[in-house]
Chain A
Amino acid sequence: MRRMLLEGLFRRPVTEEAPAVADAELEELAARLGAVARARLGRSLSIREVDAGSCNGCELEIHALNNSYYDVERFGLRFVASPRHADVLMVTGPVTANMREGLERTYAATPAPKWVVAVGDCAAGCGVFRKSYATIGSVSAVLPVDLVIPGCPPEPIAMLKGLIGLIEASARG
């Protein structure tokens, strides 16, 4: 173990540069966030992930945000275990009928101000599961959605861009 830790000290990190977020996107997000959010959040966001019915593809890529290549924590973004500690809910999946209450309760347990990010094509528009008796629809059919990150699943870099946008927008003003 000692050798690996030493190596880690001297090797160049694999972590990559932050993706740039276009100004127009930032303006739009900043407008949506509002002044209160800016004052309270500073430059950090705590995120609670909620799978509301996904195939677990989106979860794999959200996990990847934590690996050394993307290292999401360097931006002040942190995944937390409880909605009580969260500013942002990242919701994946078409919302299934069986998860609707779980999602609503998680949202209710999150203190304001709070934002909902719909991650993936299912969360954005119910995806290939639209016509089923067992699905309610996209996340916006159940909760107010502030940011949509499309993709099946969205690549980590696309999610990183969306989240950095959220944080930059909250720091503006």
Chain B
Amino acid sequence: MSTLRTALLNAALTVEEQKPWPRITVDADLWRQATLAIAAGNATLAHLWAEPRAMHMAVLDDDDGALTVLTLAVPDGSFPSVGLTHPPALRLERAIADLYGLVPVGLPDDRRWLDHGRWGVREPLGAATSVAADGDAYPFLAAEGPPLHQIAVGPVHAGIIEPGHFRFSANGEIIVRLEERLGYVHKGIEGLLAGTTLDEAARVVARVSGDSTVAWSFAFARAAEAALGVAVPQRAIWLRALMAELERLANHLGDIGGICNDAAFALMLAHCGMLREEVLRASKAAFGHRLMMDRIVPGGVAVDLHDASAIKAMARHIRERFPRLVELYDNTASLQNRTVTTGTLSADLARRFGAGGPVGRASGRAFDARKTPGYPPYGDLDFKLVTRQDGDVNARVWLRIGEVYESLELIEQILDRLPAGPIAHPVAAALSERRVPQAGGLANEPHDTSTEGLAMVESFRGDVLVWLRIDEDGRVLRGALRDPSVFQWPLLEAAIEGNIVADFPICNKSFNCSYSGSDL
């Protein structure tokens, strides 16, 4: 346990019931101290979220991956800004100000982030004041000087891709500054979760980012189960990991092909595209849906695996075909010319921003939620944590190549050792158990019966985080969600600096951040 975590737990005002990691209430001084410790690199900021009268900060202990949630009451609607000393919090705080109307005191960037002036309402989750929906002007950061020109791209892009705006300031071909403006696919997901049943909430969370629907459902289920104390049957646990690895495999294959295609090397896309299609077809044959949407539910999984032959055949075929594609990538100088030393992300930035997934691991951040904090069944499975140090597009390609092999390895291990038994534990039963008053307790005494759970799951893109507060009837009172993209998007701005404009697509694809997951 890190010294910071020990210090936080000792200085806490109260410790709240939250599973499996504690949530502590703190005063503004301790909040500031924690912020400074994170900024100094003693821990990693995992998420920052709000309620109308409270702020929460999830702090990741870099030693063992344990999370601690700090809660600061904000009766006057303002709190000491985290972004002031720790830039990864900037966009989160801008979003909190937009949605709840809370004021991060000292926040260096007070422009609206998710609120484009189009909702017809300000602070929709706070005061909710009606306004006209004619849109706000957005002042982009200045980049001035005689040779500079600006290039505006989006929100509608040239490819089949999500919407977002990129503002390039360029000196000739060289990018001097990239500024992202996102929020176009903001769907108000946090607001939608409040007051829904677990089933309804699960369907919404499965659609936070379609490419990582399995990981999101996995994390949602784990958070709900932690809160309600539901024990999940072994077979369901292993089937969840099987789906998660199929999802990782499909996405990594798609990304490797996509990155090469952005260097105009279409042959790789064609071949990787075929392999990706094979993974999706095997997923459909095994679980009845190509993306396995809504297949993981609180309590277990929605469908059992009756026939693993399609997955086995697919894995065998990819083992046969994929090494040739790797060889092709490795031996094509014109392709390497585009990827080596392009879009380099420094190890220091990756660490400070807590960059998850291939983006962080290709820049030396050896973090994978499957290893730390870890969750079943991964402790019983044998796989390597792939890392690279160089941090360029090439490193992110090799990272994914390494993880394709690890996922194949995991899929085969899971199929070999899949336990028999039931696939779900009914959540309703766990709820009624909770409603029985504890022995010795006063049944008439009014008390807060809500319960909280927190979970972190490794998607193909990095760690996704879900926090839930659930009432005794199993309704979600509040939910907070954090996609890995939140901390990766700002790093793309840093990695692209000094590259040529024509290399932006390949850099962007090598990050492959989610717009939907970050806009929520």
Contact = CB atoms under 8 A, between A and B. Distances in A.
Contact of B203 (A53, A69, A128): A128
A47 to B, nearest CB: 9
A25 B276 CA distance: 31
Interface stretch (B160-168, B220-228, B372-380): B160-168
B207 to A, nearest CB: 4
B185 A53 contact: yes
A82 B153 CA distance: 12
Interface in A67-96: 67-69, 79, 81-83, 93-94, 96
A135 B293 contact: no
Interface in B496-520: 514-516
A79 B270 contact: no
B192 A131 contact: yes
A129 to B, nearest CB: 5
Interface string B327-352: 01001100000000000000000000
B270 to A, nearest CB: 6
B185 A99 contact: yes
Nearest to B332: A1
A132 B187 contact: yes
For chain B, the bracket of interface size reads 35 or more
Contacts of B211: 56-57, 60
Given A59-B161, A64-B277, A133-B119, A54 B184 contact: no
B162 A56 contact: yes
Interface string A104-136: 011000000000000000000001110111110
B159 interface: yes
A32 interface: no
Nearest to B192: A132
B277 A57 contact: no
Contacts of A63: 160, 254
Contact of A129 (B120, B156, B187): B187
B80 interface: no
B161 A68 contact: no
A54 B516 contact: yes
Most buried by B among A55, A101, A133, A155: A55
Contacts of A4: 267, 271, 324, 328
A62 interface: yes
A77 B191 CA distance: 39
Contact of B119 (A49, A106, A134): A134
Nearest to B291: A57
A46 interface: no
Most buried by B among A59, A82, A83: A59
B124 A102 contact: no
Given A56-B211, A82-B158, A93 B273 contact: no
A50 interface: yes
Interface in A126-151: 127-129, 131-135
Contacts of A69: 274, 277
A102 to B, nearest CB: 5
Contact of B208 (A50, A55, A79, A102): A55
B347 to A, nearest CB: 29
B188 A134 contact: yes
B354 interface: no
B130 to A, nearest CB: 10
B273 A51 contact: no
Interface string B306-329: 000000000000000000100010
B460 to A, nearest CB: 12
Contacts of A79: 160
A96 B183 CA distance: 10
Nearest to B216: A55
A51 B290 CA distance: 20
B185 A14 contact: no
A129 B276 CA distance: 29
B280 interface: yes
Contact of A57 (B114, B135, B207, B270): B207
Given A59-B161, A98-B118, A153-B210, A134 B277 contact: no
Interface in B89-130: 114, 116, 118-121, 124
A58 B187 contact: no
B188 A135 contact: yes
B204 interface: yes
B163 A133 contact: no
B71 interface: no
Given A57-B210, A58-B210, A98-B116, A134 B160 contact: no
B191 A133 contact: yes
18 contacts: A4-B324, A49-B160, A51-B162, A55-B208, A55-B516, A56-B514, A60-B211, A96-B186, A98-B116, A98-B118, A98-B183, A101-B118, A102-B184, A133-B119, A133-B121, A133-B188, A134-B119, A135-B188
Interface of A: 1, 3-5, 14, 49-64, 66-69, 79, 81-83, 93-94, 96-102, 105-106, 127-129, 131-135, 152-153, 155
